[in-house]
Amino acid sequence: MRCVHLHDVVAEFLKDRVSQYLYVSSIAAYDSKEFDRAGIDENAPLQAWSGPARAYNRGKAESERRLRAILGERLTVVRPGPIKGTRDTTPDLLTWLVRAQAEGRHVGPGDGGDPVELVDVKDVARFLMLAIDRGQFGTFNLTGRPMRFQEFLDACEL
């Protein structure tokens, strides 16, 4: 029995009906070895399906590969970094903002040198609309200005 994925079914159905297919992936699709450095470009290797990464990461990478095989050059892939903004209820950013406001030292991940590239939800929405309106094809990373985690915390204190 052949394994059928929803992306495959939808892409096959739409491939002769649309001029552009836009897929919102994630920087999580990249091979986890790439995350040690900031500024990963769109040509960096993707996570292997059989690799040790989380299912989410492997799934994003595999979806990209399958869609590209079906749709070819009519595919636009957008890979946002961590999306933050209005109505974001995830505790990670709020935790660091509250901690940064308090004086003194805090326990945090790593040594402060890990890269952080957050992106605002409004910027993601604007890019998606522009990509459709202008017929932009290809793969695009959507991340904020690369900074080290310590720089991010220092900026939050302002």
Question: What is the tens place of the pLDDT at every residue in 13-71?
Answer: 988 999 999 999 999 999 988 876 667 899 999 998 887 888 999 999 999 999 999 99
Structure tokens at 25: 């992936």
> pLDDT per residue over 85-123, tens digit each?
888 888 887 787 777 777 767 777 788 888 888 899 999
Average of pLDDT values for 153-158?
72
CA dihedral (120, 126, 132, 138) in degrees, to 10, reads -40
Q: What is the pTM of this model?
A: 0.85
Chain centroid offset of residue 50 CA: 20
Q: Helix H segments across the chain?
A: 6-14, 55-71, 91-101, 121-133, 149-156
Give the residue, 133 or 147, on which the prediction is more confident. Answer: 133
Residue 4's pLDDT band, with cuts at 50, 70 and 90, is: low
> For residues 17 and 10, what is the distance between their CA atoms, to the nearest angstrom?
11
CB burial of 57-72 (b: ≥16 within 10 Å; e: otherwise) equals: bbbbbbbbeebbebbe
